[in-house]
Amino acid sequence: MANYEISDLVEWDKRIREKAAAFGLDWYPQEFEICDHTGMLGYMAYSGMPSHYPHWSYGKAYEKLKTLYDYGVNGLPYEMVINSNPAIAYLMRDNTLLLQILTIAHVYGHNDFFKNNFTYKSTRAELTIERFKAHALRVRRYCEDPSIGIDKVERILDAAHALAFQCRRNLAIKKLDREEQLTRAIEAARPRTDPFARIHARPEFHEPDMRKTPLEPDEDVLLFIRDHNPFLAEWERDLLTIVDEETKYFLPMMETKIMNEGWASYWHKKILESLDLDQGLRLEFIVRHNQVLRPIPGQINPYHLGFKIWEDLHRRHENPTPEEIKKYGAPAKSGDEKIFEAREVERDSSFLRRYLTEELMREMDLFQYEARGDELVVDKVSDEEGWKTVKETLIKNVGAGSIPVIKVEDADFGHNRTLYLKHYHDGRDLQLEYAEKTIAFVHRLWGRETVLETTLQGKRSLLCFNDRGFSVRALK
Amino acid sequence: MTSETIFREYRPSDAERSDRSAGDRLRHREKVRESIRENIADIIAEESIIGKDKDKVIKVPLRGIKEYRFIFGENAPGAAQGDGNAQPGQVVGKAGKDGQGQGEGQAGDRPGVDYYETDVTLEELIEIMFEDLELPNLERRALREIPSDRIAKRKGYRHVGIRVRLDKRRTARQRVMRQMAARKHENAAAADAAALGEAAEERRFPFRKDDLRYKHLEIDTREESNAAVLCIMDTSGSMDTMKKYLARSFFFLLYQFISTRYRNVEIVFIAHHTEANEVTEEEFFHKGESGGTFISSGYQKALDIIAERYHPSLWNLYAFHCSDGDNFDSDNPAAIRTARELCDVCNLFGYGEIKPLGSRYYESSMLNVFRRLDAPNFQAVLIERKEDIWPSFKAFLSKDRVKE
């Protein structure tokens, strides 16, 4: 079936690396593994990890992927690459030579991105494989421990998975420990030096509440529960740690999906165009490339969107049109300088905010839709008055933006050890059924009454979950 | 330039060995089953299972194994790409309810929004259903269950049969008998030959087809494995589609249940208004009649059929009557009398009054009338909506009389 030998791939890889290096890409050592479709499905179910702890949700993921694949609804990705050092990528055995070449080039794009984008700095790529393996070993050990067993482990993991993404979004911002927070609170409370103090009324001194836990609202719900519920067993804490570590590993990928896919697509195109392919391969390349990068009406294709922005950004710095110079000023950097800088310091939300222009949005016909009755209806399109709203909506929905922000406000609400959570409402209500079930999971981990403040249809409400079950109360 | 890239070749042996998700899939499967069991009442109340054969695959929506997390609800707008001429007001997809799949209009990947369903065969479903049902009185039912419902008895020997039933002993004996008979004749011939001075040669004496004897088995069906289900339904004008549908679900369950218990199950449909007729299943559920109701006519017809075809000593009889409770008052004494007779001959006799919610208070009811009937194997139930079917079915079966 396959029209290549491993030696061909090695040869092409060498040529691709030469080109990539010439373009200035910088990557971790790369490993490719050839696998068949079952292997690929398996890797997909476990997010590409060679070893991963067991949980039924991965079985579910596998069955779902396999069903979609078997019925031809979804194809398989041509490749999959994980952020580790060395980076590991899986190539589908049945792909044609051209697809393998394209994929290899694409993988180097991702690899470069993993190594250089700021969001990945916290992931410790050199430890990825070992860490996941250690997690797997620990979870397996808890499952096999006769005093714990799989049911208890699942009880915690189910709850932890539900809350996994309720964590800090920007890992590049340092989280202050309690001491530092205290200092900051005291600093803030101290009256400012006022040169006109004599003519001003003396400011009232508000003593900061230093007994409050947490001092500042805490977004790491899992870690907060781990550190503040004294009734959790050691292994339970460990499970929470494991889930949190995995989330923090995957979060950057979520946060840079559009950039990352666009970046890899941008470079595979550049590399393949410079490779001097013979005509057959070149034609196939054009077909495949357009398949991957086609716009999907009614959705957002991150490959397409990302690619378009990168290309546009490069062009605007190489040969801008007079209107663009008028609008954005003359470019200070060359196209390459600019895109290499952006790939290092942006993530999807900032990337879109800075570089998705009105013109590009119009070209791609981006629109905003909302539910009206049973239907999704186009609400705003990228015209003169609407494009800013559409852009805002788009930015709100990328990466972790699609996850509600929920923070722990008080661990001892009403001096009752009630956990008080607050949803930072941004115009989007919580889905109530899901909120009810999820808050039950918080309650399971916290062990005491749990309340969540949110806004439902414009009314401030308190969702409570205690031993008597779930209830919703209106707040004044 | 960094270090050399490594290529790991495909090895089929690796691929075969590493079905890594097997354990998690199994665990997931268990969860699915558990979840089906929890929601069985809702699932069987769905119309899709009625009138289907056992291998029919049913899609069962799963509630239990959604992965819940905090997600945004309906009022969160999304952004997507158009085909070049998106206009405000244009419909781009269907809004999902309860966080179900959002079809084409869905933008990006919203975590947690997954609508999941699984395939189960009807048989599996029924199996789960009965597992659920049987928990309280497992023992009692286990006793009544007759595992060997077909018994093969030996009954004589035959010249023809299949190889495994060949009776070697009898076959050999047949040959010896034939040989003996032949020898008489041969001895006479040998005497002649001896007279002629020739030595009698020992001759081969092979088996012939006539010698073969086979054991004969006769299949004896035990009485206990016969059951007849008598479905009696009021088809008078007051029975509307919804009522018929509820009745149908109930009969379906009853039939399915009885089929798992007995090898040989016959089903009889009796439709009645002021008079009763035996009809086919098709007619039973689809034929509309009009006019008044004499419940006793249906019962009398059932009794006639039982007397004619299903003798209670050979058949386990299950009779169930669905009606909306509208009966001519003058017929009530006769209805009670015939109902009592049915109780005497049946394992179980039930009356289900179908009153879609709301209609209960202004329509007449037979439940009060049947309260006077105190047979231990009689059960009257009220079905108001789909969800009632399962509990009333359970209540009905709990009265099952153990046959001695």
Neighbouring-strand partners of residue B73: none
Under the banding of pLDDT at 50, 70 and 90, the label for residue B217 is: confident
**Residues 9-38, chain B: which have Cβ within 8 Å of A?**
9-10, 14-15, 18-21, 23-31
Distance from C-alpha of B244 to C-alpha of A112, rounded to nearest angstrom: 67
**Which residues, in sequence order, are CB contacts of A38 under 8 Å at separation 6+?**
B15, B19
Instruction: Give start and end residues of each alpha helix (H) in B262-400.
Output: 281-286, 295-309, 332-345, 367-370, 389-397
Give yes or no: residues B215 and B266 share one domain: no
Task: Please tell me the predicted confidence (pLDDT) of residue B139.
Answer: 33
- Chain B partners within 8 Å of A21 (Cβ): 1
The tens digit of pLDDT for each residue in B337-349 reads: 888 888 888 888 8
Residue B71: which of A135, A114, A428, A474 has the closest Cα? A428
Task: Please tell me the predicted confidence (pLDDT) of residue B117.
Answer: 61
CA distance A114 to chain B (A): 15
The tens digit of pLDDT for each residue in A165-211 reads: 999 988 888 888 889 998 888 888 887 788 888 888 877 777 778 88
Residue A109: which of A14, A20, A31 has the closest Cα? A20
Query: Is cis: bond before A214, omega within 30 of 0?
Result: yes
Average pLDDT over residues A117-135: 92
- Chain B partners within 8 Å of A129 (Cβ): none
Give yes or no: residues B188 and B298 share one domain: no
In a domain, B109, yes or no: no
Write out the residue range of the structural domain in which residue B192 sits.
155-219
Interface with chain A: mutation pick from B18, B24, B117, highest number of A CBs within 10 Å? B24
In a domain, B239, yes or no: yes
Contact pairs from chain A to chain B, CB under 8 Å: 261
Task: Please tell me the predicted confidence (pLDDT) of residue B109.
Answer: 34
Residue A54: which of A154, A165, A161 has the closest Cα? A154
User: Cβ–Cβ of B8/A364 closer than 8 Å?
Assistant: no
CA distance A165 to chain B (A): 8
* Residue B80 in contact with partner chain A when CB distance is under 8 A: yes
Rounded to 5 degrees, φ, ψ at B5 are -80, 145
Distance from C-alpha of A347 to C-alpha of A374, rounded to nearest angstrom: 34
DSSP A276-297: ---HHHHHHHHHHHHHHT---T
Distances (CA, A) of B293 to A161, B62, B244, B273: 60, 42, 15, 4
Give yes or no: residues B314 and B367 share one domain: yes
Give yes or no: residues B255 and B365 share one domain: yes
In a domain, B4, yes or no: no
Last residue of a domain, one of B135, B169, B190: B135
Give yes or no: residues B231 and B379 share one domain: yes
Locate the chain B residue with the closest alpha carbon to A300: B80
**Which residues, in sequence order, are CB contacts of A427 under 8 Å at separation 6+?**
B75, B76
Residue A63: which of B39, B124, B22, B58 has the closest Cα? B22
Give yes or no: residues B273 and B367 share one domain: yes
The tens digit of pLDDT for each residue in A413-464 reads: 989 899 999 999 998 999 998 999 999 999 999 999 999 999 998 899 999 9
User: Cβ–Cβ of A161/B5 closer than 8 Å?
Assistant: no
Distance from C-alpha of A298 to C-alpha of A378, rounded to nearest angstrom: 10
Instruction: Say which CATH number the domain at B262 has.
Output: 3.40.50.410
The domain tally of chain B equals 3
Distance from C-alpha of B66 to C-alpha of A56, rounded to nearest angstrom: 11
Distance from C-alpha of A28 to C-alpha of A88, rounded to nearest angstrom: 10
Under the banding of pLDDT at 50, 70 and 90, the label for residue B115 is: very low
Distance from C-alpha of A145 to C-alpha of A367, rounded to nearest angstrom: 53
Under the banding of pLDDT at 50, 70 and 90, the label for residue A297 is: confident
CA distance A195 to chain B (A): 48
**Which residues, in sequence order, are CB contacts of A23 under 8 Å at separation 6+?**
A267, A270, A271
In a domain, B140, yes or no: no
For the ranges A201-215, B7-21, B116-130, the lowest mean pLDDT is seen at B116-130
The separation between CA A133 and the C-alpha centre of its own chain, rounded to angstroms, equals 22
CA distance B249 to chain A (A): 30
Average pLDDT over residues A70-93: 84
Interface with chain A: mutation pick from B4, B74, B81, highest number of A CBs within 10 Å? B81
User: A119 in the Ramachandran plot: left (φ > 0), alpha (ψ -120 to 50) or beta?
Assistant: alpha
In a domain, B146, yes or no: no
As to burial, measured by CB atoms within 10 angstroms (0-12 exposed, 13-18 middle, 19+ buried), residue B100 is middle
Give yes or no: residues B331 and B257 share one domain: yes
Contact criterion met (CB below 8 Å) for B34 and B82: no
In a domain, B369, yes or no: yes
* Residue B361 in contact with partner chain A when CB distance is under 8 A: no
Q: Where are the domains of chain A?
A: 6-117+256-284, 129-163+217-254, 294-401, 404-474
The separation between CA B140 and the C-alpha centre of its own chain, rounded to angstroms, equals 21
Contact criterion met (CB below 8 Å) for A224 and A218: yes
Give yes or no: residues B250 and B212 share one domain: no
Distance from C-alpha of A149 to C-alpha of A147, rounded to nearest angstrom: 6
User: Cβ–Cβ of A378/B10 closer than 8 Å?
Assistant: no
In a domain, B250, yes or no: yes
- The distance in angstroms from the start CA to the end CA of chain A is 69
Last residue of a domain, one of B186, B219, B252: B219
Last residue of a domain, one of B202, B219, B236: B219
Does residue B107 register a pLDDT over 70?
no
Greatest mean pLDDT among A276-285, B76-85, B393-402:
A276-285
Give yes or no: residues B233 and B175 share one domain: no
Under the banding of pLDDT at 50, 70 and 90, the label for residue B393 is: confident
Task: Please tell me the predicted confidence (pLDDT) of residue A379.
Answer: 86
